[in-house]
Amino acid sequence: MAIDHAMFDLAEETGAHLWRCYRWSPFCLSFGRHEPAARRYDRDQIAAAGIDCVRRPTGGRAVWHARELTYAVAAPMTAYGSLRSGYRAIHTRLAVALGSLGATATLAADRATPGLGSGPCFAVPVGGEIVVAGRKVVGSAQRRGDTALLQHGSVLLEDDQAPAFALQRSPASDSPVPPPGAGQPEAPLAAMLGRQVGFDEAAAAVARMLQAEGLGALGSQPPNEVLRRAERHYDSYRSATWTWER
């Protein structure tokens, strides 16, 4: 999260347009920047289960990060025009990458965005999110600055969001989602394609899409200005106080 935040800082200050893909070790539950996590989730239960948690720099609702691909994009607002248009443009590019893996990926029709109290991120597709056969395979969140945006999200590869639902204190009263396992609205890409889809295969598909678009993925090897800038954010994202302050 500190690296994603640093990408956002660099885009704000220099107009950089950066993409990266990564995965989580250990697996983790993330909360949106303004999500009422302390009210929605049982901190003691999560700690007893040994589950890591973090609060994201972007908005939205909780996401379980397991066998997935997480992407992040930081770019000047002029590259996309608005948050809404950026959301669709980024997802359109990702849908092309998923299509190269064999998925018939489309963007969900516009609809009202659920409130922060309506359960985890994957509880229901919102307008512009990526679905395969009507089931959500990518969940994303955004943050807008003075001149730039940050968008990152999870591409479900081989795990669903059952833990995020199970760890709630109680089902959200305004959520239309049935209990886990009973027609969940999300599905990992592997389930939709009937085969395993690993991180390396998915990341290569995103890299090919970026190359075709004339964009480059963010390199991971030092020296790296993003990693240098990330150091200023490490303490915040490691802090349990920051994670559970809302």
Q: What is the pLDDT of residues 110-166, one digit of tens each?
A: 755 555 555 555 555 567 899 999 999 999 999 999 999 999 999 999 999 999 989
Look up the pTM and report it.
Answer: 0.88
How is the chain split among helix, strand and coil, in percent rounded to 5? 35, 20, 45
Q: Specify the pairing of strand 52-55 against strand 28-31.
A: parallel
Spatial separation of the C-alpha atoms in residues 59 and 202, rounded to whole Å = 25
Choice among 21, 28, 53, 121 that is catalytic:
121
Q: How far is CA 110 from CA 88, 127, 230, in A?
A: 10, 4, 35
Q: What is the pLDDT of residues 165-196, one digit of tens each?
A: 899 986 554 444 444 444 578 899 999 999 99
Domain chopping of the chain, boundaries: 2-243
The answer to whether 77 and 17 are in contact (CB under 8 A) is: no
The answer to whether 130 and 105 are in contact (CB under 8 A) is: yes
Q: How far is CA 149 from CA 61, 89, 110, 235, in A?
A: 18, 13, 21, 23
* pLDDT at residue 187 in the model: 92
* pLDDT at residue 109 in the model: 86
Topology (CATH level 3) of domain 2-243: BirA Bifunctional Protein; domain 2 (3.30.930)
121 is catalytic: yes
Neighbour count for residue 81 (Cβ, 10 Å): 10
Say which amino acid occupies 176.
P
Q: What is the pLDDT of residues 73-112, one digit of tens each?
A: 999 999 998 999 999 999 999 999 999 999 999 998 875 5
* pLDDT at residue 185 in the model: 83
